[in-house]
Amino acid sequence: MRVLVGGGTGFVGRTLTQLLRSRGHEVTHISREGGKDRISWGELSHSGLPLCDAVVNLAGENVLNPFRRWSDAFCREVINSRVETTRTLAKAIANAEEPPHAWVLVTGVGYYRPSPTAEYTEDSHGGDFDFFSRLVSAWEAAALIPGSPTRGVVVRSGVVLGKGGGAISQMLLPFRLGLGGPLGSGLQPFPWIHIQDLAGIVCHALETESVQGVLNGVSPSSPMTSNATFAQEFAAALGRPALLPVPAWAVRAVFGSERAVMLLEGQKVVPKHTLESGYQFIFPDLSAALRDVVA
């Protein structure tokens, strides 16, 4: 299978590329500049979609980049890096003489309203109550290609746990120093997934012709995981205590009130359709996932 991947050199993209190539698929990345095994976004807009069997979009600016202040400019960058790249790919697919068989977009569980009690499946409503829910709605809407023969799949990902990037890279040092702990009350749900499982779900969606629509990219045990539970398990994996909670005001001071919602609130998300589609999780258990990440 020839797979075109937007954001293929990023945190999740590297793992997905490795998995796809290990399964015998050819991978071409879309990046700012063209080159070997990659094309640029400009080339895609100007020349159209290269011949391929499937397209994946993982592109998006890191929303929780601690070195970027939440501003109108950064907000636009967050939106454009997701919505506009998705719209560009959807337009290229729609105009292709030989459209690909599959089109997979990875978005986020921020689509669902934060709640300490409600459980959400892929059939649950959401998408219009705060910045992030509206972002995901616009993101997914940009991927729609009415009347297209291309099979469409959206994977709504939780917090991705993996080596060398993502949430773990920002938390590793304070936890190694014994300075880690829950954020705010610690009672908020913590929807998570191991990076190998997120890549695995995308690969499963590409290879399985019966899969379409929305899949929740979270671990089966994610609905039972709170932020405090995650902090305790992460510290235990490192052989450290988790005694120092980070007050909510400090989280808001660092990330701003808009982004702090992602850390101080959460959703209980169930991968109902993902399991029904036949995907078997490699890391359904949080402690095993964290031991693998810090090994």
Residue-level pLDDT at 261:
83
Q: The tokens of 269 are what?
A: 């998300």
* Residue 48: φ, ψ to 5°: 90, 180
Q: How far is CA 128 from CA 88, 125, 136, 156, 191, in A?
A: 24, 9, 9, 16, 19
What pLDDT is recorded for position 82? 95
Tokens (6 digits) for 151: 């099979």
User: What global pTM score does this model have?
Assistant: 0.95
Domains and CATH numbers, the chain: 2-160+191-218+268-282 (3.40.50.720)
Per residue of the chain (295 residues), what is the pLDDT tens digit? 999 999 999 999 999 999 999 999 999 999 887 778 899 999 998 999 999 999 999 999 888 777 788 888 988 999 999 999 999 999 999 999 999 999 999 999 999 999 999 999 999 999 788 889 999 999 999 999 999 999 999 999 999 999 988 888 888 888 888 888 999 999 999 999 999 999 999 999 999 999 999 999 999 999 999 999 999 999 999 999 888 888 898 888 878 887 888 889 999 999 999 999 999 999 999 999 999 999 8
Query: What is the pLDDT at residue 138?
Result: 96
Nearest in space to 293 (alpha carbons), one of 237, 223, 221, 225: 237
Count CA atoms within 13 Å of residue 265 on its CB side: 18
pLDDT at 184: 92
Cα angle for residues 56, 62, 64 (degrees, 5° grid):
140
Which are the contacts of 193, defined by CB distance < 8 A and separation ≥ 6?
157, 158, 159, 160, 161, 217, 218, 219, 222
